[in-house]
Chains A and B, each alone.
Chain A
Amino acid sequence: MKKVVMSCFLLLAVCMKLSAQGYTVGSVVEDFRLKNVDDKMVSLADFKSAKGFILVFTCNTCPVAKDYENRIVALNDEYAAQGYPVIAINTNDPVASPGDSFGKMQERAKEKNFKFPYLVDADQQLTKRFGAAHTPTVYILSKTAKGNVVEYTGAIDNDQDESNPSRSTFVKNAVNELMNGKKPSVSKTKAVGCTVKWKKA
């Protein structure tokens, strides 16, 4: 019985740790400095003319993230010039997920011709700070006097394998609304994804 109680406590502790909250809509985001696939460091502050950002927590290996790669490229093609560039961040630990090594990220960025940064979150602190639980997860930020504020969190759309006839392009809709001076009418969505591959203690 003692063992059962102990196990329950352990489980509870693990669950509590996992559900630790990150940024939500309205949060002011602290800037970061992470290495890009071209070996240069990237911060939000580098994007002087940006009005906001489409941050995508993703990775090389998750099949859902892979399904969305072309759509991430398309988002940057459409919105970077309008002031909302894509910044992709690889959440996964390369030991826990060898397909997510820096070398493999460079390969993927080249293969898919990423015109946006694809950053390594080596200590996974940024992923934790944002509270991105799975890949792919998007945070749309807008640059304000207070700093970079979270306007939207969630999925790119509700049509992973492009078979949903009632498709809603959540991220596009939200950025379009922001560009029109409005708050996103849908600011939090959910979709199925792969758990972040955390560094093993």
Chain B
Amino acid sequence: MKYLCIIMVCMIASVGNAQVKLLSLENFDKRLASGKDTTFVVNFWATWCAPCVEELPHFERLQAEKSSSPLKVILVSVDSKSKLSQVVDPFVKTHKLQSEVYIFDEPDQQKFIDHVNKSWSGSVPATLIVHAASSRRDFYEREFSFEELKTLTIKPN
């Protein structure tokens, strides 16, 4: 069974040419609200942000490691929409990112910054953790180690 999993992960990885998609703020909200018992870990990053790029593997690992409760990592790039096909898409491919990657379909940065969290100054990396069933919505404007991320995403009781 373990081997089957590994083989499957490898297969998914080999076909995993994740495409960066545009995401409206409305659909972002809907997605997070529909999660029920799923903990969403939304990381805001940018291709130009060195600490973000360093941190990305932690999120990928968090998703890949078996978690006792449902967990979904979503990567939202704050690169400009105009950079999607020339910069962000190639970046996702070179770094073989498996998580879903989006760019907000909203040219006004202030709109999405405030929409995500009023207290967000706009620095990246930043991470939002949402668990609809327990009305959890925590926002962090900082970097995380893998261990910290794991601690933070433990299902709240």
Contacts and interface: CB of A to CB of B under 8 A. Distances in A.
A145 interface: no
Interface in A120-134: 133-134
B123 to A, nearest CB: 4
Contacts of B96: none
B51 interface: yes
Interface stretch (A41-49, A102-110, A111-119, A159-167): A159-167
A15 B124 CA distance: 14
B128 to A, nearest CB: 14
Interface in A14-65: 14-15, 18-19, 63-64
A190 B82 CA distance: 20
B44 to A, nearest CB: 9
A165 B108 CA distance: 10
Contact of B120 (A155, A161, A164, A190): A190
Contacts of A190: 109-110, 113-114, 120-122
Name, among B46, B119, B121, B125, the residue most crowded by chain A CB atoms within 10 Å (CB to CB): B121
B15 to A, nearest CB: 32
Count class of interface residues, chain B: 20 to 34
A194 interface: yes
A191 B123 CA distance: 8
Given A7-B151, A158-B108, A161-B83, A194 B142 contact: no
A95 interface: no
Contacts of A189: 110
A201 interface: no
Contacts of A161: 80, 82-83
Given A8-B151, A64-B48, A192-B46, A158 B110 contact: yes
B108 A166 contact: yes
A195 B80 contact: no
Contact of B122 (A4, A15, A166, A193): A193
Nearest to A66: B48
Contacts of B48: 63-64, 194
A64 B51 CA distance: 14
Interface of B: 46, 48-49, 51, 78, 80-83, 107-110, 113-114, 119-125, 140-142, 148, 151-152, 154
Given A4-B154, A159-B107, A194-B49, 11 more contacts: A63-B48, A64-B48, A133-B121, A163-B81, A190-B114, A191-B109, A191-B110, A191-B122, A192-B109, A194-B48, A195-B51
10 contacts: A11-B140, A15-B140, A18-B142, A63-B49, A133-B141, A155-B110, A164-B108, A190-B113, A192-B123, A193-B122
